[in-house]
Chains A and B, each alone.
Chain A
Amino acid sequence: MSTINLSVNGKQYSLESIPGETLSTLLRERLRLTGTKIGCEEAECGACTVLVDGQPMMSCVYPAERADGKAIVTIEGLAQRVHEEMKLHPLQEAFIEHGAVQCGFCIPGQILTAYALLKRNPNPDSADIRFALKDTLCRCAGYPSIENAIIAAAQALRTGEPVQKPTHIPDSIHEHKTVGHKFLRPEAVEKVTGEAIYTDDLKFDGMLYAKAKRAMIPHGFLKKLDISKAKALPGVVAILTAEDIPAEKNHGLVIFDWPVMVGINERVRYVGDAITIVAAETQDIAEQASALIEAEFDLQTVITNPVQARQEGVPQIHANGNLLKHIKVRKGDIDAGFASADVILEHTFHTPTTDHAFIEPECSIGVPLPDGRMEIYVGSQIPYQDRTQVARVMGWPEERVRVVGQLMGGGFGGKEDVMGQIHVAMLANVTQRPVKLLFDRHESLLVHPKRHATQIRVKLGAKKDGRIVAMETELYGDTGAYASLGEKVMTRATTHSAGPYDIEHVRADCYAMYTNNPPAGAFRGFGVTQSAFAVESMMDMLADTVGVDRVELRRMNALHVGSVTNTGQVLNESVGLTECIDRVDAEMRKHTANPFAPRVDSANPNLVRAWGFASAYKNTGLGGGAPDISGADVELYEDGTFQVRSSAAELGQGLVTVMRLTVAEEMAVAPDKVRVLVMDTDLTPNGGPTTASRQTFVTGNASRYAAKTLRDHITATMAEKFDVRPEQIRYEDGVVHVNGHSMTYAEIYKEMTSIGQQPKVRYEYEAPKTMPLGEGGDMHFAFSFGVQAAEVEVNKLTGEVRVLKVISANDVGMAVNPLGLQGQIEGGVMMGLGNCLTEEFIMDNGNVVTDHLARYRVPGIMLTPEITSIIVEHPISSGPYGAKGVGEICSIPTTPAITNAIYNAVGVRIFKTPVDQEMIARELWEREGVK
């Protein structure tokens, strides 16, 4: 054993070396500096970046012993605590001010990398910043905000002046005191100083470490399981198999078809199925034990895609067969529609499975309490559902489980299903010790549900002038081994598959099929990402066929107030599609007068540029007849501050800011007087799932009505006390004006409690009722609309594609939180760009090829185009201040905007994503007859 002498954030340490230890482990586990994050342990994501002698390094692959004699700076070393106050470094301040902080998980790596850049280059330009941050991934993908923050911080450091605030982000056009204006995230400071705690940063006394053994075969029956060798390993505390499941054997979000563990003679349906779980004194021992467990399988034919899954005579994966759901949309008379068409086009499109690749891998900790209850610490999009699912399997009443939601390093739909929550509950219950189950990136990629791979056939009939009269679509969706939210996702893909257009005759059929691939479930866009690619490509093909301008074609067919959707819903208000089209069109033509014509680079004739255009819509909320409910508490405290509480999840998207601003607006106080607590099933009422772009709407409304109700209580109390009419009581500037004198909220608190009134309100908000698919009426209570134009540059020789500019207009009803909205829109474009150009989750006969982050590329800052955001605000009367969802719509039109631009540049139509540059090159060289 040798000694490691190192300095960390200016403090000297002398530590015994531990074989196999990396610098990140030394910092996180031994020094408890948990601001250094682990995203991949592959030197791919950059979250673990620290400075070693001033140079940014990936601490996850840096042997701790190499740090001997070196000076390390971690994120905790940048800010200085001056008395009680944190004095932030200008970079930290700028990241907050510019809205560059979203989920926060990558932020320590971003800031330290930027810090090293500014040390050697105090005045970097955009290219310098991109070069330096090339491999520091942000999946919320606020890359433009990150760049702006670094430029602002550099300026502040050079001049000694305060950090400049962003000037390009407009406030809402709807006038309110607080909502609609730029305010900072409540948890932003913790996220830039490294003090923010994510699940893996927690440690409990006596905590054990768990590992799930995965089947690693795509389809078969478990025949034999031998845990004897693993059991004999010193340090192993418990090994559980399917036989140890206390009550219900399966979990699931809608359908309980997913075994907690697969038992002997039971069916393995994908490589990620768990067959045993181990708890041990250390992570190493848990992993060794898991490797010592021997399993034998009777292998079965693998169902690799949804079309095969529907064929006659193939193995059936579930008792009810391979068909999860046949989804149908019927409107008008499709045959009559096609009979009346002048032109008919028909094409088939394919989209791959993709992964959320949130930078924070899944982590759960189960903590048994002396009274028999169980706490689950986890970053989850649906805390109450986790509680239900854990309780079902444990055979307990739900109240015996408390889910304590933690900050999440991104979700995007990928943290809706249960991952380790049930496993840690079982192990913690058996051992009566806290148990942590942390996925590594490999396990995360293998196990959690993905975006559905699809095959989409579109047949479109139109009049000569471009008016669409009939649209028929047929979709196949690969929902993988288990249902997850597959039925809901593919329903959304289907109902939106004719695009945001007013069409008289529509017929859509979708087959959501089980296969032996990893499950597919929720992923930002929820099926509409896929169908928008197909239909928007068809729109451009139609434009060429009938000789109508691409924009004009969309304008002429666009949904508008008074339109009837494919599912028979009359749109009565809040349809900002035409404004989105017009404004993107105008902005695009400012850059390029003839945007869809190819422009050849004068210096390099191989480079051709053109714009592409696409529209989309996306429902806000669950819809389809599901009750859409969220609860919120608002409470006034003795010191005159408020707390707003709901179990709704904060995954980086900014819900906590929305809740805070809403309550501040209603109570007429400064936002920093409102604290927000989310995601705790003991302390916060049920906000429902954080999915379907619904939380601003439902929990925004719940917070707003809770605050309003509290205000009514206060008004009633004050009216009685001062004997005035309620209308004479005004709420302004943080105080309550009654009859000429004003009372602070601290005084109000005293007043109310003195007469035995609790200044606390719980409000359960239920969104307007919706109808199930097929019954007509309102299937959804709101829709958001989005239009994007993308300018691309295609290299005709190599087929390489570069996205230069994206203009994104989104009708969000009302911009409650403009700073957060900017981040959502930038990130939505980048996630769309990744979906179009870089991302493909590859399976080979049910085995995962893209099982490391190095093989699954998500877009970094180098691929970031210039993004222009246009906010369109057609309010919806039931939304909070008119707001509707934005989380998904901002990501949906990106893919077809890019692929349409590729076609406009070089005439190659993309029928399959991600775009294959070799295919483009090949088509061009074959067309020109060269070899």
Chain B
Amino acid sequence: MQTIDMATTPLRELNSALQAQAETTNQTQWVIENPKGAHAVAVGLDAPIEVTVKGSTGYYCAGMNKQATVHVTGSAGPGVAENMMSGTVIIDGDASQYAGATGHGGLLVIKGNASSRCGISMKGIDIVVHGNIGHMSAFMAQSGNLVVCGNAGDALGDSLYEARLFVRGSVKSLGSDCIEKEMRPEHIEILKDLLERAGSDAKPEEFKRYGSARTLYNFHVDHASAY
């Protein structure tokens, strides 16, 4: 196991060491100590390594992640796992705004709450939040799954494309063109798999599914006065 102490190792050195790991590395276990809210911890990784960050991180932790598993034992600041491509990011505490924004793939698990704009413009990432999410989450979300075991804030899924949203608790309000949809067996299957992988014991049957009404996809002459 490799241990890097951020109290003595500069951030760039840390990220360079992690980014230098190849597909075939045998240094697969990394522990990062004393992050103390630092920005851009463990970003741009592209190897099947496991990184445990002991403490809380600042902006953009695990951004652009590929293949790696990044586990933060504290809370994460804004933009955690932003633009993730693959791999897994797990936050034991809360995540600040725009967690998982624009993510193309992989799994982001937030065991506490996520604040506003969670999964904004997500493009294929799966996000499972054990707690609640804030307002404007999944805004313009294109594909992937957002699973919320708690409640969702205002304007969930505004201007949504084809991402699937699953919420167990209440939704304060739905955004434009986001509607509740029927939960079919294939959705229960997707949900079951995601909850299992995210370590949640919530039951898929307790969730409601929300998706796009697809009325904003094309220009509609009745809306002409709105432009």
A binds B: no
